[in-house]
Amino acid sequence: MTREEQVYRQLKAVQFLRAIKQGQTYQKLSEALGISPIVLNRYIKGHVLPEPARAEEILKLRSWERLAQQGKSLLRANEDGFIDNTRLVFHTPFLRTVADLMVMEFPHPDKVLTAAVDGIPLAVHIAACLNVGCLFTKREREVGVASFIESHSNLPTGQVMNYFLPADALSRDDQVLIVDDLMRSGETQAALVEIAQATKATVVGIFSLIQIGERGYRRLRRLITCPIKSLICLPSR
């Protein structure tokens, strides 16, 4: 391992600690990780980097289960059951750590596709880790773009949601990973699948930060056979 690669691993370890620190005291984090609060403070504040061996020990603690637990602690719900996920989608170290694990889960896509707007931060981080293009549909046609691929979905309110992507953004040889912040009915994800399929691109996976209930998952499973994964699964109300 080169010195550059070693430092990169050390920085990734610090990123993970920052991802799971929000909302926790240093004492509580210390009890979970077996690292003293003082040392954790120095790592997270950026005063020192963990030694290479310690960094590898910290990176071994990264898991979907640990991130899901931390992610749930950042969610809020009102009395009507609507989810406020802003503390999650605004949490850059957390999204970067999710992206790191996604690279191991889906190592070979050529493009990451999402819908504006809340899915964009996660999609950008995943695309950056994969070093591939990040595409996102818009709700209106962009002035100056000659042609679009488009799809539509019906919201429970009866409103029709439009999705537009420049026609040359995808091609038949592309391997596409679809990501979004939230999956409930699966309408948005299904619309993105339709857009990818319209260009003959191959959807290699669908990922959401939060899945509410099974309705969306079942709908997508009827459409496509690729892996469908969510970080946090919550029951429907």
d(CA 140, CA 52): 49
Report the helix count and the strand count for the chain, using DSSP H and E: 10, 9
Residue 91: predicted pLDDT? 95
Q: Which helix (H) or strand (E) is 151 found in, with range? A: strand 148-154
Block means of pLDDT (10 residues each) for the chain, 237 residues, are: 95 98 95 96 98 97 96 89 90 97 91 95 96 96 94 83 96 97 95 96 97 96 96 91
Residue 236: predicted pLDDT? 86
Bridge-partner residues for 1, per DSSP? none
Predicted confidence (pLDDT) per residue in 47-64, tens digit: 999 999 999 999 999 999
Predicted confidence (pLDDT) per residue in 135-159, tens digit: 999 999 999 999 999 999 887 777 8
Burial class (CB in 10 A: 0-12, 13-18, 19+), 127: buried
Domain spans of the chain, in order of start: 3-62, 83-234
- Residues 160/136, Cβ–Cβ less than 8 Å: no
**Reported pTM:** 0.94
Closest CA to 124 of 148, 150, 89, 163: 89
Residue 137: predicted pLDDT? 97
Helices 3-21, 64-74: crossing angle, 10 deg rounding = 40
Helices (H), the chain: 3-21, 26-33, 37-44, 52-59, 64-74, 86-89, 92-105, 120-130, 187-198, 215-223
Residue 133: predicted pLDDT? 97
DSSP assigned state of 237: -
Under CATH, what is the fold of the domain 83-234? Rossmann fold (3.40.50)
Helix (H, G, I), strand (E, B) or coil at 11: helix
